[in-house]
Amino acid sequence: MSTPRRVVAGNWKMNHGPDATRSFFEALGSVPDGPRVAIFPPAICLPAAVGAPGRDARIELGVQNVHAAESGAYTGETSVAMAAEAGAGLVLVGHSERRHVFGETDADVAAKVARVLQHGLEPVICVGETLDQRKAGQLEAVLDRQIRAALASLPAGARYMVAYEPVWAIGTGETATPDDAAEAHGLLRARLREVHGGDSDAVPILYGGSVKPGNAADLMDALGVDGVLVGGASLKAEDFAGIIAAA
C-alpha cells in the first residue's frame, strides 16, 4: 500500500494582485523538505508568482479554475493550455464556490478534469456537502455522487488529488472536527479504491475548510487526512508557514 506524500496547498481565491503576490513569496522564503507545497493565485497573478524573485522553486503553482473547452468564444475564461503555458502544474476543479456560486454541475467538473489530464496537468478535485445535506444525513450520498462523476474522466494511474471541503466550514469560522474529517476521508478513500483499486492509495486526500495554524496539526493527524487546502490563512506568509511547519 502506497502512502501519499503530505500536501499543503493555499487557495487565494480573489485576493492578492501581482505586487502582493511577489511580496508574499519574498516573505515566505524557502519551504522545508517533506510536504508538497502549492499555491493557487488568481490566474492574472500566475506570471507574477512564476517570476517572483523570492519564490522557492519547490513551491508548485496552479490555477483556481479552467474552462472545459480547448479554446473559443468564452469571454473571461482561461483554457487549460493557457494555464499550462503560463506555468501552472495544478488546477483546482469543482471548488465549492464554483459549484454553489457559479452553478457548476458534476458533468462540468468531469469535463474539466478530462481536459486538465489531456494537457498533463494535475487536477485537484474538490467535493463536499452543504450544511442542509449534512443535517439530512446525505454526506455519503453527496460525496459518492460527486467523486464518482469526477473519476469517470480519469483512467487508472492518472495523477490527481482530492480535496474534501465541507461547504458549511468554508469562510464561516466553523471547522470540521478531526473525527468529521476522518469520516469523510474514509468514505472517499473507499470510493477511490472501488474505482481504481490499490493504485489509488497514493492519491492524496486533502481537508479544506477554515484551516488555520492553530488547528492544522490536529486536522492532519486525523485518520486519512493527507494534507490541507487552505483559504484565508494562506494569504499571510507567516500563517501559511505555520501550517507548512505543522505538516
User: Mean of the per-residue pLDDT values for the chain?
Assistant: 95
Q: What was the pLDDT predicted at 176?
A: 83
Q: Is 16 a catalytic residue?
A: no
**Per-residue pLDDT reduced to its tens digit, 24-72:** 999 999 999 999 999 999 999 999 999 999 899 999 999 999 999 999 9
Q: Is residue 88 part of a domain?
A: yes
Q: State the residue for C-alpha cell 473525527.
A: 179
| C-alpha cell read off for 11 | 487557495
Q: Is residue 74 part of a domain?
A: yes
Q: Which domain holds residue 170?
A: 7-246
Among the listed residues 95, 97, 183, 185, the single catalytic one is 95
Q: Regarding beta strands 36-40 and 59-63, do their DSSP bridges make them parallel or antiparallel, or are they unpaired? A: parallel
Q: Could you tell me the sign of the dihedral formed by the alpha carbons of 85, 86, 89, 95, in that order?
A: negative
Among the listed residues 97, 104, 129, 165, the single catalytic one is 165
Q: Is 165 a catalytic residue?
A: yes
- In the chain, which stretches have pLDDT less than 70? 1-2
CB of 231 closer than 8 Å to CB of 170: yes
Rg of the chain over all Cα atoms, to the nearest angstrom:
17
Residue 148's identity, in one-letter code, is R
Provide the number of structural domains found in the chain: 1
Q: What was the pLDDT predicted at 198?
A: 84
Q: What pTM was estimated for this model as a whole?
A: 0.96
Q: What was the pLDDT predicted at 219?
A: 95
Q: 124: closest CA among 205, 237, 181?
A: 205
CATH of the domain at 87: 3.20.20.70
Q: How far is CA 158 from CA 14, 58, 104, in A?
A: 29, 22, 23
